[in-house]
Amino acid sequence: MILYSFFTVPAYMATAFVIILVSLKRDSYVPFVAITGALISLGFSLLAIPQVLPGTPVSMQMEEWVAPYGITIFGDCLSITLACLISIVALMTMIFSSSYIRERRAKYYALLSLLFAGMFGVVHTGDVFNLFVFLELLSIASYGLIAFPRNRSALEASIKYLIMGSLGTSLLLMGVAFLYGLTGSLNMADIAVRLSGMSSPAVAVSFGLILTGLGIKAGLVPFHTLHLDGYTAAPTPVSAVLAALVANIGLYAILRVSFILFSMPFVALQILLWFGVISMVLGAVLALRQSNLKRMLAYSGVSQVGFIAVSVGLGTSLGLVGGLFHMVNQALIEGLLFFCAGAVVYFAKTADLDKLSGALKSDRLLSFSFLIGVLALAGIPLFNGFASKWIIYMAALEVNPALALLAVVVSAITLAYGLKAYSVIFSGNPLGKAVDVRLPLSMKIPLVLLAALIIIIGVLPWIGIGVANLMAGGLDSASYIQEVHI
Amino acid sequence: MMEELMAMQYLALALAAVIALLWIIFEASRREPKKPREKARIFACGTEATPGELNVPQGSYYQYMKRFFVTGPLARVHSGRLSTYIAWILAGLAVIMTAMVMMW
């Protein structure tokens, strides 16, 4: 069976190639090519929904080579939901960037297309080596995108991102090499079958290396330092992609590898739980004291990833559903907040909250969108963040009530720093002459669409819960192995 | 669990409606005749104060957090130094590998 959503990978690669060709003729056509590529990819992702909707996974082999010798492409509710999420955020980013990026557009859009190609590759691969290859593709594209402004802070952040990112992918590759040495295979389903009767300490070492490598991509404390400077220095639409998607891609890879290859051992749950608790608290406390809007949002991303890790680390089915639901919600919320921050930075020319006080003549759409993002991030009812956080609180209450209380306190801290940023930017006393904000249509569309999705999922939470339940089904090792026909 | 979640949603919807009503009443009651220019001026200690002088730096709402004993050291290890950042990662690797070897 042909898995349509996998065509997003060649579609984005072709888009990057066409962008470079088109830019040789006329640079102003580049955003249209990029947006067309994103729309085609969204179409491929949506086409795959009926293929996996009954909860049945779909796999295909490249060039008719049977597993485990050929390359396996895999899709289930988990990967297709993430593919749809990536497609939506990618399209919004392409549209938003068309007015945000005014120079060297071809390089920017080509790198962005390669970044998305890498993400789609990660969610579709059924092979641990290709997981590394696609992660490396998205990492290399992100190094270039962070350095894109070509100023001192962007170059410094990019070099730090490169060094720490390379450390992560090196550890991942070492883990994959260990696995290959142990099992003689790179196919995930085949490795799962061969590892099932093995109790060698080398298995633990390989899992530890892979978990660390992917943990760096996910941005969990103590691996969160990868993202902080990168999110702050990158062009804001790129920060939106990194915060909304890259961390989730890392978490997806952790879950896929842990559940399918290693049947999620107790030690991995404990690591996720405790790293998650530290991420949740540390991210929120440090966000509270930031005076840079983008850095504050970067720390809030660390805190939200912590919520997801805690929920999964609880080891219950309710916790897994809550974590996966929050993964989707967090992507939409972080995307919206970073796009709002992008619009603010675009007009005020600064992300410093001390200088932003009253710097903008309030724009209703921008201020409402930011407020919706803040309220959703803090888990206020009627917004999507509430529905997923409610499930996380309930799951934590079943295991340890103190954890549930801690999660509520962290949500309150989230509201405190979110409202601080909102009040400074949109109702602060002006320090000088305020800039008139006239949002172009290309900035309005992503804000309206993401805010609408946040409210729709918030008001109709059973849709999200249903999808999260189906996503959780994708982490069943037995059905995965059966589908790949090992 | 779904019923509890929906009950919370309806409660929030009712609260939002009440807040919206109160806001409309507040906005309606705020409309008053324009003050003469002389009355609109603000004085502090007998001299006229400019809006800039009356400003509270809102970006510094939670600046007391900087004096809080936990966040000081935490901020020092998030100062942007690459060596400190890599130390965080290596510490994480050490914790994971120790846990793996001891609990596997």
Kindly indicate the confidence band of residue A395, based on its pLDDT and cuts at 50, 70 and 90: very high
| Least confidently predicted of A55-69, A147-161, B89-103 | A55-69
More confident of the two residues A11 and A70: A11
Q: Residues of A with CB below 8 A from B95's CB? A: 222, 271
| Two structure tokens written together for B66 | 């900087």
Find which of B61, B79, B82 to mutate to test the A interface (most A CBs within 10 Å of its CB).
Answer: B61
Cα–Cα distance measured from residue A194 to residue A231, given in angstroms and rounded to the nearest whole number: 40
| Res A280 pLDDT > 70 | yes
Q: Can you give the pLDDT at residue B11?
A: 81
Question: Phi, psi (5° rounding) for residue A391?
Answer: -65, -40
- Give me the mean pLDDT over the B14-29 stretch: 82
Q: Using the beta-carbon criterion (under 8 Å), do A229 and B71 form an inter-chain contact?
A: no
B61 Cβ neighbours under 8 A, 6+ residues apart: A420, A424
For the entire predicted model, the pTM comes to: 0.89
| Least confidently predicted of A211-215, A235-239, A420-424, B46-50 | B46-50
Q: Does A46 touch chain B (CB under 8 A)?
A: no
Kindly indicate the confidence band of residue B92, based on its pLDDT and cuts at 50, 70 and 90: very high
Q: Using the beta-carbon criterion (under 8 Å), do B62 and A420 form an inter-chain contact?
A: yes
Q: Can you give the pLDDT at residue A467?
A: 92
Q: Residues of A with CB below 8 A from B12's CB? A: 380-382, 386
Q: Can you give the pLDDT at residue A207?
A: 93
Q: Can you give the pLDDT at residue A181?
A: 93
Task: Residue A195: name the closest of A208, A180, A212 by CA.
Answer: A180
The shortest CB-CB distance from A267 to any of B59, B75, B100 is to B100
Size of chain B, expressed as the number of residues it contains: 104
pLDDT tens digits, residue range A327-363?
999 999 999 999 999 999 998 888 888 888 777 777 8
pLDDT tens digits, residue range A396-425?
999 999 999 999 999 999 999 999 899 888
**Buried-exposed string A372-384: b where 16+ CB fall within 10 A, e elsewhere:** bbbbbbbbbbbbb
| Least confidently predicted of A67-76, A202-211, A462-471 | A67-76
| Helices within A219-246 (DSSP H only) | 225-233, 236-241
| Two structure tokens written together for A206 | 């390989």
Task: Residue A283: name the closest of A305, A297, A302 by CA.
Answer: A302
Q: Using the beta-carbon criterion (under 8 Å), do B52 and A461 form an inter-chain contact?
A: no
| Least confidently predicted of A210-214, A388-392, A433-437 | A433-437
User: Which residue type, as a one-letter code, is found at position A215?
Assistant: G
- Give me the mean pLDDT over the A219-226 stretch: 87
Find which of B8, B69, B89, B103 to mutate to test the A interface (most A CBs within 10 Å of its CB).
Answer: B89
Q: Using the beta-carbon criterion (under 8 Å), do A431 and B8 form an inter-chain contact?
A: no
- Give me the mean pLDDT over the A5-14 stretch: 94
Dihedral sign of CA atoms A268, A271, A277, A282 in order: negative
A51 membership: H or E segment, kind and range: helix A49-52
Q: Does B59 touch chain A (CB under 8 A)?
A: yes
Q: Does B61 touch chain A (CB under 8 A)?
A: yes
Cα–Cα distance measured from residue A110 to residue A94, given in angstroms and rounded to the nearest whole number: 11
Q: Can you give the pLDDT at residue A431?
A: 67
Q: Does B21 touch chain A (CB under 8 A)?
A: no
CA distance A18 to chain B (A): 37
Q: Can you give the pLDDT at residue A290?
A: 85
| Least confidently predicted of A64-68, A124-128, A447-451 | A64-68
Predicted complex ipTM exceeds 0.90: no
Q: Does B44 touch chain A (CB under 8 A)?
A: no
Kindly indicate the confidence band of residue A103, based on its pLDDT and cuts at 50, 70 and 90: confident
Average pLDDT score, chain A: 91
Q: Can you give the pLDDT at residue B70?
A: 58
CA distance B29 to chain A (A): 21
Q: Can you give the pLDDT at residue A356?
A: 83
Q: Can you give the pLDDT at residue A143?
A: 94
Q: Does B40 touch chain A (CB under 8 A)?
A: no
Q: Can you give the pLDDT at residue A180?
A: 94
| Least confidently predicted of A110-124, A273-287, B29-43 | B29-43
